[in-house]
Amino acid sequence: MSADLPPAVTFRSDRFSVVSVLQTILVFVVPTVGLYLIIAFLAAAPRLARRPRYRVGQPWTFEPLWWTANPEGAHLAAVDSHPVSGERGGARGSW
């Protein structure tokens, strides 16, 4: 039956080499895992490089900052860093 096939199509076992399990893992698994690790690092890198955030309950060590779109038009007076006694506020609405 193989005599009917042209020589280019016949199967010759000397063309193929035996591939070990380790070589198969190195070819298929390592690049795939490496690609996933690179994508995960690129996704997490901006968050890892960011400054630490302020969390509720931590002391506030920064200078007060007043922002307005038009500082010349707002005529802001100097801000007193010490609040008047009895003055309250916050995110919980206990005014």
Mean pLDDT on 11-29: 80
Domains of the chain, residue spans: 2-74
| Per-residue confidence (pLDDT) for residue 90, from 0 to 100 | 59
| Per-residue confidence (pLDDT) for residue 31, from 0 to 100 | 95
Question: For residue 82, what are the CA distances in angstroms to 9, 16, 85, 87?
Answer: 91, 83, 9, 10
42-71 pLDDT, tens digit per residue, is: 999 988 888 878 788 888 888 887 777 776
Question: Given a cut of 70, is residue 15 above it in pLDDT?
Answer: no
- Among the residue ranges 13-27, 42-56, 70-84, the one predicted with the least confidence is 70-84
CA 62 to chain centre: 27
Q: Which residues touch 76 (CB under 8 Å, ≥6 apart)?
A: 66, 68
